[in-house]
DNA sequence: CAGTATCCAGATCGATACTG
DNA sequence: CAGTATCGATCTGGATACTG
């Protein structure tokens, strides 16, 4: 493990290099996107839509994304739509119908989130141990 | 692109399967870890420590993580330490010296964050275009 | 049905002052 | 030097009521 740290560090420097190539605005946008992924509902909502593999109405989404409020779901959906990760189609009917569908970009994003999420999930026992040691001091 | 959506969706279902295997507490911890990655300072601090490839003192860290307050940096460092992503070594000297170092686990985490971050950074132009279209309506 | 509008509680974070 | 303590502005998000 002596130089594995060095390897990893170098790999991380590549990210910084890639980031430095971005303008201030672009760097901010990158950060914003990454932060959105971790907010309370975005990833979950996106995952539900991916799982569904088809359109879902607002109320169905609220049922599946357990615990979300109307306000938060609306806000989440607007942000996802704005970034092109989902589409929102309104049907001129009574009662109104609105269908949300994940886009190719949204699916691509999820495919890049997956490895990280899996690693974290697999590492949970490790984190639990570390925390217990930390608290035992 | 007809069935690429299906492929991606199936891949995402694997995540859900992996997540379902976790207990409530573990799932919560996974979410908590992922969310921490996106908070304002954690990832940046971790990246600085990875880049440094060696110990850094509190004040040096504050200089490099531009804009962070003492309070936020302290909180961030405690959380990272608690999860075993960095170590904190105190030297019994006057004036006191405290050195922070990234751990192997921290480096491993960064290596899994990198691909996602890079993809988002590369996709920034796409997001910018999408947003402009969205606002033009 | 699919929202919007309003109010409110809790968390977050920076600035500032102080300390072992 | 490396924090802690405190205050206040800001943000987030839930609950509730209302609407095209």
Q: What is the CATH number of the domain that holds A52?
A: 1.10.10.10
pLDDT at position A69? 97
Q: Which residue is nearest to nucleotide D5 (CA to C1')?
A: B71
The count of other CB atoms within 10 Å of the CB of residue A133 is 11
**Which of these, A31, A110, A62, lies nearest to B10 by C-alpha position?**
A110
Can you give the pLDDT at residue B36? 87
DSSP state of B13: H
Average pLDDT of span A49-64:
95
Count of Cβ atoms closer than 10 Å to residue A4 Cβ? 12
- Contact positions of strand C to protein Cβ (< 7 A): 1-6, 12-17, 20
Single out the residue of A51, A46, A49, A56 nearest to residue A98, CA to CA.
Answer: A56
**Residues β-bridged to residue A56:** A100
Whether residue A131 and residue B105 make contact (CB cut-off 8 A), yes or no, is no
Same domain, B32 and B54: no
B52 and B32, same domain (yes or no):
no
User: Is the pLDDT score of A8 beyond 90?
Assistant: no
Neighbouring residues of A85: CB distance < 8 A, sequence distance ≥ 6: A46, A102, A103, A105, A106, A109
What's the pTM?
A: 0.87
Looking at the structure, tell me whether residues A23 and A75 fall in a common domain. no
Taking an 8 Å cut-off on Cβ atoms, the answer to whether A51 and B16 are in contact is yes
Residue whose pair of structure tokens reads 């979300």 in the numeric block = A68
A99 has pLDDT over 90: yes
In the predicted structure, residue A3 carries a pLDDT above the cut 50 = no
Mark whether B44 and B99 lie in a shared domain.
Answer: yes
CB within 7 A of nucleic chain C: A 57-60, 70-71, 74, 77, 88, 95-99; B 39-40, 67-72, 75, 95-96
| Domain co-membership, B101 together with B44 | yes
Q: What single DSSP character describes residue B69?
A: -
Nearest nucleotide to the CA of B41, by C1', is C13
**Residue contact B14–A108, C-beta within 8 A:** no
What's the confidence (pLDDT) of residue B2?
42
In this prediction, the residues of chain B whose per-residue pLDDT falls under 70 are 1-21
Distance CA A7, CA A18 (A): 17
What pLDDT does A1 receive?
43
Band (A2; pLDDT cuts 50, 70, 90): very low
Total number of domains constituting chain B: 2
Among candidates B12, B84, B102 on the partner chain, residue whose Cβ is nearest the Cβ of A50: B12
What would the mean pLDDT of A17-34 be, rounded to a whole number?
78
């Amino acid at each position: 493990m002596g130089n594995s740290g060095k390897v990893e560090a170098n790999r991380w420097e590549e990210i910084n290099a890639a980031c430095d190539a971005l303008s201030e605005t672009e760097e901010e946008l990158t950060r914003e996107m990454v932060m959105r992924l971790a907010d309370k509902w975005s990833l979950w909502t996106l995952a539900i839509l991916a799982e569904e593999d088809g359109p879902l109405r607002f109320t169905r989404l609220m049922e599946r994304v357990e615990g979300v409020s109307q306000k938060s779901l609306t806000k989440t959906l607007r942000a996802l739509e704005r970034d092109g990760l989902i589409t929102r189609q309104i049907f001129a009917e009574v009662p109104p119908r609105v269908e949300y569908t994940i886009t190719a970009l949204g699916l691509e994003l999820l495919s890049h989130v997956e490895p990280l999420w899996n690693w974290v999930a697999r590492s949970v026992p490790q984190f639990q141990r570390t925390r217990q040691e930390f608290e035992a001091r």
